[in-house]
Amino acid sequence: MSSTSVFTKFAAGLAGAALLSAAFSAQARELSISTVLSDAFPWGQAAEKWAELVEERSEGRLTMRVYPNAQLVAGDQTREFSAMRSGLIDAAVGSTINWSPQVPELNLFSLPFLLPDEAAVDAVTGGAAGETIFAAIESRDVVPLAWGENGFRQLSNSRGAIAAPEDLEGLKIRVVGSPLFQDTFSALGADPTQMSWTDAQPALTTGAVDGQENPLSVFDVARIDQVGQEHLTLWNYMNDPLIFAVNRRVWESLDEADREILREAAVDAGEWEIAMTREQEAERLAAIRERGVEVTELNEAQYQAFVEATESVHQEWVPQIGEALVEAARQAVEAR
């Protein structure tokens, strides 16, 4: 064997090894995405769409696997952000409510009656307030990429129609694990109790709680009417945006092209999911009505009574969220 051919074989072997290792690392690059709700809901579908677009656009170099039902944090959705920050979870499509214990700025969206309609939500997420919120997330080792939407949260209960704060008097209401909700429902005279979504469903079934609040898509898909929630009040008291995000070390380990793929796919999946969620609202409400749920809509005076009853929540929380951020949001809502 000539020395040339030995060299050629050696070089070919090296090239082959390099190719193999590239193929291997491409296959090995699977990112986890955490969500609270499965793909039976728009929220889970948003994550699936993100994964699908990333896989397609990276030609299989990057795959993303969705882990729904907050399973990566054993059902405790308020630990999702910390788990993503520490790298236990690579990525998430998460609710602003569930991340607000670690990112106080996210409580902005939970301020009662700050955002009256979809245009108000878009003005805030798409403007200076949205940028401040993304910066707040980024300062905590998580890279936010895009917005999605769980939706306007409406109030349901098993006892009777709620058209005034007095109607909430003494009702046990399941709220999410963010202290602001405790304050809102206490201000309304209810008896709020914090629990995860996993625990909420049995609590509603057994009657351990009288009511809950969630967007129409959640009420509809989870068939909340079947666990005795026969009264629904449409009050648009807060909107629950979703955020697509990635752990910072994972982000930094990707090259520029893959970061762009991840970001653009998140933006596209988010826009797709927001449009779908909003389009479906009317048919979901019709389906809920058809199942015999009594739907209460508020007139202007009734709405104002709820606004006034929850003013103390603003006083208490605006300093924690940041005066400038709340002001930027208010201005965006005004100018919408």
Q: Which residues bind ligand X2X (CB under 6 A)?
A: 36-37, 77, 95, 97-98, 150, 176, 197, 214, 218, 240
Compare residues 69 and 132 and give the one whose CB is closer to ligand X2X.
69
Residues β-bridged to residue 318: none
- Cβ–Cβ < 8 Å for 238, 301: no
Q: How far is the CB of 133 from ligand X2X (least distance, A)?
A: 17
| Residue nearest ligand X2X, Cβ-based | 197
Compare residues 54 and 66 and give the one whose CB is closer to ligand X2X.
66
Distances (CA, A) of 169 to 125, 162, 187: 34, 10, 10
Distances (CA, A) of 87 to 72, 140, 191, 243, 265: 12, 12, 37, 17, 21
Question: To 10 degrees, the CA torsion angle through 84, 77, 115, 221?
Answer: 120
Q: Determine phi and psi for 332, rounding to 5 degrees.
A: -65, -40
Question: To 10 degrees, the CA torsion angle through 84, 90, 92, 98?
Answer: -10
Q: How far is the CB of 15 from ligand X2X (least distance, A)?
A: 50
Compare residues 152 and 306 and give the one whose CB is closer to ligand X2X.
152
Report the C-alpha gap between 89 and 80 in whole angstroms. Answer: 8
Compare residues 152 and 197 and give the one whose CB is closer to ligand X2X.
197
Closest CA to 77 of 37, 28, 109, 32: 37
Compare residues 92 and 97 and give the one whose CB is closer to ligand X2X.
97
Distances (CA, A) of 90 to 62, 65, 266: 13, 10, 14
Q: How far is the CB of 324 from ligand X2X (least distance, A)?
A: 26
CB atoms within 10 A of CB 86: 12
Q: Which two tokens stand for residue 111?
A: 């301020």
Q: How far is the CB of 257 from ligand X2X (least distance, A)?
A: 33
Q: How far is the CB of 178 from ligand X2X (least distance, A)?
A: 9
Compare residues 58 and 239 and give the one whose CB is closer to ligand X2X.
239
Q: How far is the CB of 213 from ligand X2X (least distance, A)?
A: 7
Compare residues 167 and 240 and give the one whose CB is closer to ligand X2X.
240
Q: How far is the CB of 96 from ligand X2X (least distance, A)?
A: 8
